[in-house]
Amino acid sequence: MEHSKSYDRHILITGGAGFIGSHVVRLFVNQYPNYQIVNLDNLTYAGNLENITDIETADNYTFEKGDITDLSFIQTLFQKYSFDSVIHLAAESHVDRSITEPLEFIKTNVLGTATLLQVAKETWKNDWNGKLFYHVSTDEVYGSLSLGKDMFTEETAYDPRSPYSASKASSDHFVRAYSHTYKMPIVLSNCSNNYGSYQFPEKLIPLFINNILHEKPLPVYGAGLNVRDWLWVEDHAKAIDVIFHKGRLGETYNIGGHNEWQNIALIRLLCRLMDEKLKRDNGSSEKLITYVKDRAGHDLRYAIDASKLEKELGWKPSLQFEEGLSKTIDWYLENTKWLENVTSGNYQKYYEAQYQNR
Ligand code: NAD
Ligand code: TYD
């Protein structure tokens, strides 16, 4: 890292070794050479530095390994880098894990967010000018919709129903509380389900791509009738860029793809595309579909109305779903080494090999 250079902004991005965070870090490092980007990540099972090898030697980029719940460590980081902004993505993010380990979610998502807020407040409180705390959140805080046409808007009342969404709802409330109580400049976005490259293969799309590749069963929860609204991760990263630069302070923006799919329909499309790409007999991947016990408290439907973001800031998704899904499958098929490292656990050795002796 070039210490002597003077940067226009000093930005802390948390969770930048994760799925969405890695795309956000890449976009900011490449797009804004005059911003200093510090990526803070604790490298939990979901954090993978192999997601961002392409930018790890950039002058304006630094990686810091650490825990967002560690108050004194966060204080030291704020002193070291004089951050003016935080883009906060670090979280425990998988609903199924939140059902078996809810306390981890409360610790990271609630206490971790509150710790970052508290240090930012103490550091910035005498001059809020030019400061920003941006919280990246989920549409799952709004609860579950019935099958139909209604959608979540920014005015929809919070109704979280899984330990994951309850912890994210709580962290959203803390961010707004710091704005109301201390006048902290904040912005929030609540996004629908993301898909794309570098997603940990425990989430539906990469898990099923990996299972089809290895001809393993595809575990469909319940009858597969739940509906999700899917957005290409790079479109999410672009939305975060736009909101970070142009979003009105104190506001919330919903981000979504206007792209609802019943799980079983999406899985059938995925199977068809995989058969074509792997040159397998038509219908062979569908034979792997296995209906399993439903997820406890499984939210039926999510759908996002992203018109505020579109009207105010001019953002809209760039990719049609079938094209995005096809590109995504191609990426996993071209990056089988990445997939193997993740599934074998080898990716966790990357930090020791590349960073520890620096
Ligand atoms: P992810 O699980 O892939 O990545 C989370 C990252 O946070 C990992 O790199 C992990 O190592 C890091 N982390 C976890 N605990 C930490 C801690 N205590 N200290 C420091 N780092 C820690 O998650 P993702 O899918 O990239 O989601 C990123 C954010 O976006 C989350 O806040 C999530 O709630 C939100 N979000 C995700 C989706 C989605 O579809 N994946 C949709 C909307 C919003
Ligand atoms: P997931 O990717 O875990 O995202 P979320 O629960 O945050 O929406 O799951 C997407 C949908 O796919 C959800 O309705 C649950 C379902 N699902 C399965 O049917 N089987 C699976 O193995 C997984 C991981 C998810």
In this structure, are residues 257 and 230 in contact, taking their beta carbons and an 8 Å threshold?
yes
Closest residue CA from atom 14 of ligand 2: 226
What's the pTM?
0.98
* pLDDT tens-digit map of 284-339: 999 999 999 999 999 999 999 999 999 999 999 999 999 999 999 999 999 999 99
Q: State the Cα–Cα distance between residues 346 and 268, nearest whole angstrom.
A: 31
In this structure, are residues 195 and 232 in contact, taking their beta carbons and an 8 Å threshold?
yes
Q: Is the CB of 58 under 6 A from ligand 2?
A: no
Q: Is 17 exposed, middle or buried (0-12, 13-18, 19+ CB in 10 A)?
A: buried
Q: What is the per-residue DSSP string for 132-143?
A: EEEEEEEGGGG-
Once rounded to an integer, what is the mean pLDDT over residues 103-122? 98
Residues with CB under 6 A from ligand 1: 14-15, 17-21, 41-44, 46-47, 67-69, 89-93, 108, 112, 136-138, 168, 191, 193-194, 200
* pLDDT tens-digit map of 6-44: 999 999 999 999 999 999 999 999 999 999 999 999 999
Once rounded to an integer, what is the mean pLDDT over residues 143-171? 97
Q: 297: closest CA among 96, 25, 128, 86?
A: 96
State residue 4's pLDDT score.
Answer: 60
Tell me the catalytic residues: 139-140, 164
State residue 357's pLDDT score.
Answer: 66
* pLDDT tens-digit map of 210-246: 999 999 999 999 999 999 999 999 999 999 999 999 9
Which atom in ligand 2 lies closest to the alpha carbon of residue 224? 19
State residue 2's pLDDT score.
Answer: 45
Q: Is the CB of 194 under 6 A from ligand 2?
A: no
State residue 234's pLDDT score.
Answer: 98
In this structure, are residues 120 and 103 in contact, taking their beta carbons and an 8 Å threshold?
no
Please report, rounded to a whole number, the percentage of residues in the chain having pLDDT higher than 90: 95
110 DSSP assignment: I
State residue 358's pLDDT score.
Answer: 66
Strands 85-88 and 218-221, by their bridges, are unpaired
Strands 260-262 and 227-232, by their bridges, are antiparallel
Q: Is the CB of 193 under 6 A from ligand 2?
A: yes
Polymer length of the chain: 358
* pLDDT tens-digit map of 44-57: 999 999 999 999 99
Across the chain, what does the average pLDDT equal? Answer: 96
Distance of CA 136 to the CA centre of its chain: 8
Q: State the Cα–Cα distance between residues 22 and 16, nearest whole angstrom.
A: 5
Q: What is the per-residue DSSP string for 129-176?
A: TT-EEEEEEEGGGG--BPSSS--B-TTSPP---SHHHHHHHHHHHHHH
- CA of 89 from ligand 1 middle (Å) equals 5
CATH topology classification for 9-195+232-258+300-319: Rossmann fold (3.40.50)
